[in-house]
Amino acid sequence: MIDVDAVTQRAIDVLKRNDRGGYTIPTDGLYPYQWNWDSAISALGIAEFDLDRAWQEIETLMSGQWDNGMVPQILFHTEAEGYFPGADVWNCDGPVPSSGISQPPVAVTAARLIWEKDTSLGKSRMEALLPKLRCWTDWFMRWRLDDKGAVFTRHPWEAGRDNAPDWDKSAARIDTSGVQSYIREDTKHVNSDHRPTQKDYDLYVWLLQLGRDVNWDDGAIAENTPFKVADPLMTFITLRAVRDLHALCEAFGQNTDQLAEYITVLEAGVDSIWNPEIQAYDSRDVQTGEFAGSLSCGSYLCWYAGVDRKEMRGQLRNALSRTKYPVASYDIQGAVFDPHRYWRGPTWPCVNLLIGIGLADFGVPEEPKLRRRIRELVAENGFSEYFDPITGTPAGGKSFSWTAAAWLRWARFDTHSD
C-alpha cells in the first residue's frame, strides 16, 4: 500500500532542497545549474504547492533568453564545482552566462498549464512572458525546421536525450578526431555504466567547438554542421508549444495568424517522421533522409502534440504488456537496448509525465494504467533520474527535481483500478 501523503511530502522536499533561489537545479552535484526543460517540468511540480514560485521558475529561465530569441539549455547563474562543460568552455555572451544551444520548449506548455491553475493571478505574469515565449518559438521555426517541417536538433544535448540510439547513424559519419582534450565530471558523480560513453562525449564536445568557433552564429553553424537530426521529441514538443501559444494569444486577444501557419507546417513535419518500417514516429537524418529505426519515448509524445494515431495506440499497448515500467526511453526489444545507460533504455518519469498529459487529453484508456506503473515505480524506488524499465532499479542521479515533479503533477493520482 503506497503512503501517498508521505511520498508527496518527500517530493516537495526534493524540489525545495534543489531550489537555489528563483530557479531549481536538477540535482545536487551532477547538475548544479538551471537546465531548460528540467526547469519547465520542475515548475509543473512546484505549481502543485507554490504557484508564485512556479511562475518564478519560468521567469528566471526566460531571463536568459538571447537577443535572437534562443533560450539556452543551461543557465550558469552562479559558479559551481563539478560540471563539465562550464560557462568558460561554451564562451557565449547572452544576458546570463549560458550554453550555446537550446532544449525542447516544454516551458511554453508549462507556462500555459500554470496560468490555467489561476488565470486571474497569472494574468500580468503571462502578459509579460508571452512575447518572450513567441520569440523563442520564432527562433525554433527559423533555425530548427527542416524542409519537410519537422524540428531537428543540432546537438544531442539540445534534444535532451543525449545518447539516444536516434543519433547513432548520424554520429557514425562524423570524424571527431580534432576534439580538444577535456576531463569529464559526470562520471565522478554517478556510475559510468549509467552515463554516455567517451565516444558520445567526444561528439558532444566536438559539436560544441563547432558552434563556439563561429561565435554561436546560427547561419554559420547551419552551413558547417554535419549533425542535423529531425526528432519526434523535439517536433512534438514544439508543435505542442505552438498550439499552446496559439490558445494563449487568442485568450489575450493577440493575432494568431502566424502561429496558425506554424501549426500547419509542423503537422506536415509530423507526417515526415513516420517510419512505416517500424510503424512508429522515428528520428530522421536531415542530410541523408535515413531513419534511425528507433522506437523511443519521443515517439509516444504524439498525443502531447495533439496527434492521435492508431498504430501508436498499438505500440503503447505493447509497451505496457512487455515491461513492468514503461514507457522506456528506447524499445526494450530494440537492437541496442541497455536498461541502465541513460537514454538507451531506462524509463524516465519526466517524459512519461508528458506522455501522460497527451494521453489524458485524448482520453486514451491506457493512461491510468501507465500512471499507476510510474506511481509504483517512484513510490517504491525513490526520486532517481531514471530507472531500469524491467526491474525498477534506480539509476543516474538521486533526488531529481523532475522526477519529484512527475510525481506531484501526475503519478500520485490514482483514479482507477486495473
282 near ligand DGY, rule: CB under 6 A: no
Backbone angles phi, psi at 60, to 5 degrees: -65, -40
Contact 357, 304 (CB under 8 A): yes
Contact 192, 138 (CB under 8 A): no
162 counts as catalytic: yes
Question: Quick one: 45 or 86, whose CB is closer to ligand DGY?
Answer: 86
* CA 24 to the chain's CA centroid: 16
Binding mask 69-88 for ligand DGY (x = CB under 6 A): ----x---------------
Number of residues that bind ligand DGY (CB under 6 A): 4
For residues 333 and 395, give the distance between their C-alpha atoms in angstroms, rounded to a whole number: 20
Question: Quick one: 72 or 358, whose CB is closer to ligand DGY?
Answer: 72
DSSP string, 179-207: PPP----HHHHS-GGGS--HHHHHHHHHH
Cis, bond preceding 85 (omega within 30 deg of 0): yes
Least gap, CB of 312 to ligand DGY (angstroms)? 27
Contact 112, 195 (CB under 8 A): no
> Of 200, 231, 338, 385, which is the active-site residue?
385
DSSP code at position 73: S
Backbone angles phi, psi at 190, to 5 degrees: -135, 165
> Of 162, 244, 338, 367, which is the active-site residue?
162
Question: Quick one: 201 or 303, whose CB is closer to ligand DGY?
Answer: 201
Contact 226, 174 (CB under 8 A): yes
Residues 55, 139, 157, 201: which binds ligand DGY (CB under 6 A)?
157
CA distances for 389 relative to 100, 218, 233, 312, angstroms: 33, 38, 19, 19
162 near ligand DGY, rule: CB under 6 A: yes
Binding mask 14-53 for ligand DGY (x = CB under 6 A): ----------------------------------------
285 counts as catalytic: no
Question: Quick one: 162 or 244, whose CB is closer to ligand DGY?
Answer: 162
Under rule CB under 6 A, which residues in 164-203 are in contact with ligand DGY? 186
Question: Quick one: 125 or 195, whose CB is closer to ligand DGY?
Answer: 195
163 near ligand DGY, rule: CB under 6 A: no
For residues 329 and 339, give the distance between their C-alpha atoms in angstroms, rounded to a whole number: 9
Residues that bind ligand DGY (CB under 6 A): 73, 157, 162, 186
Residues classed as catalytic: 162, 385
